Structure 1
Amino acid sequence: MPNSDDFRVKRIHKMLLEMAKGNFFYSLEPSEKNDNIASLVVMLNMVNEEIRASFVHQGFANAHHTPQCIIQLSLLMDANGIVEMVTNGSCSLLSCLPKEVIGKPITELMTETSRKKWAKKLPKLLKRERSETVLHLELMTHQGLILSNDCHISIFKSLDGTGQKILLDTVFFSKGEPFETGLPKKTLKVAKGIKEPRVILGPRDIQMIRDVHDMILNNLEKDLPQLKDLALQMGTNEYKLKYGFKQLYGTTIFRCLVQERLRKTRTLIQHSDLSLKQIAHMTGFKSPAHFSRAFKDKYGLSPSELRETSR
């Protein structure tokens, strides 16, 4: 793939257009360069992934009243990996015409990493007449956008005697609902001329902040350490951690923790038989009263009211 700055910017432009259309399936291949464009690619991938994850998460929280979109990518190949059939949905995802794919090796659509993975795994699968496995692959469009997903690979013997066939399937699935309705009770007003501090973030800084976000999601039942201690733990300073996190996620570290706790409690209330006291304890709330207050402020219903409507 060309590696000029002009091509990298064009990929970013294409990615932004897809996101503007509500398509959050794609990502961009990171560059080995350590410059502003590389930082932008990392940030764009991160934002896209967070939006996609939020839609899926929100969908599971209310499975009966959410729009859903299921797009399947499906390719049929011969034993050499030459594409023999492609669905319309696959062509739409890959931004190509059927004639641009049929008759060509599947590896032409893969990133270098996926090509190596494919070349290593395929001979083992072809040793049997029938076999199935799941392989995480990255397929690339002509514009340089990447479709990264777990793909189901099936090997079977053709009925017409033409030998073994390979079927590659994967489903891109998103569910979403409006995050909230109504106006917030309190509106933050900023005086003229006062700007929130901004920090310059390189790829390593962005990855570090993303690690902090992952730490929050994986430890909702625990309280975070003080910011200065957390910054020291992550190998950065308090200023960069505090304002860098706000810059990337649009909220403070503490508010992010509370929001994710509440989101998890909502899922548990609707889809588990745990008591409200157990749920509060599992998600780090100090008392049921504090949990109930915060939950009602966020969703307009108390935990007990939501549970009643979910039954």
Structure 2
Amino acid sequence: MPNSDDFRVKRIQKMLLEMAKGNFFYSIEPSDKNDNIASLVVLLNMVSEEIRAAFIHQGFANAHHTPQCVIQLSLILDGHGQIELVTNGTCSLLSYLPKDLIGTYITEFMTEKSRERWTKKLSKHLKRERSETVLFLEFITKNGLLLAKDCQISVYQALDGSGQKILLNTVFFSKGEPFETGLPKKTLKVTKGTKEHKVTLTPKDIQIIRGVHDAIINNLDKDLPSLKELAHQEGTNEYKLKYGFKQVYGTTIFRFLIQERLRMARTLILHSTHTIKQIVQMTGFKSKTHFSRAFKDKYGRSPSELRS
């Protein structure tokens, strides 16, 4: 009988190899065990999630450094969920050959929770002639890694009269441009709205702003001091910090804090066994009600729905 610990270690090795190649969209399904390997799996999933989000953020914050590689998972299924057509990107993501996928049922490559979600949701949509929905699904690769993503599901009638078809689509961003290693040589002009008043950010100012950015990410469970106090702590003034941060990162400090707290909460819900109450405390939210409302506004489902 194979050793389950050996199998878990092999999956970790495979995921590390994928990350070394620049593929940060894989994760490992958490187990019920409470040991060092389980802890390593949680940490590795969180690191992968953070790096992936950093690449995407780089693209939005700087249009000249957008992600370079977009890999699409795309399949056409019949009305019973049997795979009829796959793209090369799908085969690459799942680590299967086309002949291994075509003719099999899509549910064979899903986790148990996703199979239940798929069966429950699709039964309603297949009653209609045409419909579209978004469904969060987890696929299992040939190597035992997970691909978790919101998928666009379209149900339609084939023009050749072969009956109902299902189109499943989603996109994974992979490698991006290398991160900038130095500070800008020129100063950065920041304008407050449409007014004439401007402030100049020196390389040192931008370094301070980046330090604030990193401090927020590393202290999501702590309350953020006032902007005046934060600026004083970092050796700058409130105006430069407030509008400089928005210019560099495209959002306000407070919105960035909430965004990162929610992103961390989503990672913990998907990749850890912490209770929702523990996650609320770990991500700095004052109440479970406030957290749930903000989470659903951002991700379209409640924390408990995402975990179920």
Deviation for aligned residue 1:180: 3.5
Does residue 20 of structure 2 align to residue 20 of structure 1?
Answer: yes
What do you get for the CA RMSD once the two structures are aligned? Answer: 3.7
| CA distance in structure 2 between the partners assigned to 1:112 and 1:169 by the alignment | 20
CA separation of 1:14 and 1:263: change in aligned 2, threshold 3 A: farther
- Supply the distance in 2 between the matched residues of 1:162 and 1:141 (Cα, whole angstroms): 30
Deviation at 1:68, TM superposition (A): 1.9
Alignment-derived partner of residue 237 in structure 2: none
Q: Which residue of 2 aligns with 1:59?
A: 59
Say whether the 8 Å CA contact 2:69–2:176 is kept in structure 1.
no
User: Alpha carbons of 1:270 and 1:102: their partners in 2 closer, same or farther (altered >3 Å)?
Assistant: same
**Which of 247, 250, 267 is matched with 1:269 structurally?**
247
User: Would the aligned equivalents of 1:58 and 1:175 in 2 still touch at CA under 8 Å?
Assistant: no
**1:66-85 matched pairs, under 5 angstroms:** 66-85=66-85
Structure 1 residue 91 displacement after superposition: 0.2
SS in 1 for 2:27: strand
Task: Kindly state the Cα deviation for residue 37 of structure 1 after the two structures are TM-superposed.
Answer: 0.6
Matching residue of 2:31: 31
User: For structure 2, which runs of at least 5 residues remain unmatched after alignment?
Assistant: 184-202, 204-216, 228-232, 235-239, 258-308
8 Å CA contact retained: 1:56, 1:175: no
Separation of aligned partners in 1, 2:241 and 2:21: 26
Q: Does 1:49 align with 2:49?
A: yes
Unmatched runs of 5 consecutive residues or more in structure 1: 186-210, 224-253, 256-261, 285-311
Sequence identity percentage? 66
Using the TM superposition, give the Cα deviation of residue 93 of structure 1 relative to its aligned residue in structure 2, in angstroms: 0.5
Go from structure 1 to structure 2 and tell me whether the alpha carbon gap of 1:283 and 1:127 turns closer, same or farther (over 3 Å shift).
Answer: closer
What is the Cα deviation at residue 65 of structure 1? Answer: 3.7
Asked if 1:87 is matched to 2:87, the reply is yes
Aligned to 1:166: 166
CA distance, structure 1, for counterparts of residue 120 and residue 241 of structure 2: 41
Paired residues for 1:126-205 under 5 Å: 126-174=126-174, 176-182=176-182
Separation in structure 1 between the aligned mates of residue 46 and residue 241 of structure 2, nearest angstrom: 20
Mapped contact 1:28–1:45 kept (Cα < 8 A): yes
How many angstroms apart in 1 are the aligned matches of 2:59 and 2:241? 12
* Higher deviation after alignment, 139-148 or 59-68: 59-68
Per-residue Cα deviation, 1:233-290 (whole angstroms, up to 9, x for no partner): xxxxxxxxxxxxxxxxxxxxx99xxxxxx99966731686x9xxxx579779xxxxxx
Amino acid at match of 1:93: L
Deviation of 1:171 after TM superposition, in Å, equals 0.5
- Show CA shifts across 1:183-219 (max 9, x none): 9x9xxxxxxxxxxxxxxxxxxxxxxxxx985546xx7
**Alpha-carbon spacing, 1:78–1:271, altered in 2? closer, same or farther (3 Å):** same
Give the secondary-structure state (helix, strand or coil) at the position aligned to 2:45. Answer: helix
The 8 Å contact of residues 135 and 152 in structure 1, kept in 2 or not, is answered as: yes
Deviations along 1:24-79, whole A, 9 cap, x unmatched? 01000000000011001001001100110111111111012445211110010001
Equivalent pairs counted in the alignment come to 218
Go from structure 1 to structure 2 and tell me whether the alpha carbon gap of 1:213 and 1:74 turns closer, same or farther (over 3 Å shift).
farther
2: CA distance, partners of 1:140 / 1:67: 25
Cα distance change, pair 5–181 in 1 and its aligned pair in 2 (3 A): same
Mapped to 2, the partners of 1:117 and 1:49 lie a distance apart of 23
Q: For 2:24 and 2:174, how far apart are their aligned partners in 1?
A: 9
Structural mapping, 1:284-295, within 5 Å:
none
Distance 1:165 1:269 in 2: 46
Change (3 A) 1:88 1:34: same
Do the aligned residues in 1 keep the contact of 2:246 with 2:253 (CA within 8 Å)? no
Cα distance in 2 between the residues matched to 1:66 and 1:56: 7
Correspondence for 1:238: none
8 Å CA contact retained: 2:55, 2:176: yes
Q: What is residue 194 of structure 1 aligned with on the other side?
A: none
Question: Does the 8 Å CA contact 1:76/1:86 hold for their aligned counterparts?
Answer: yes
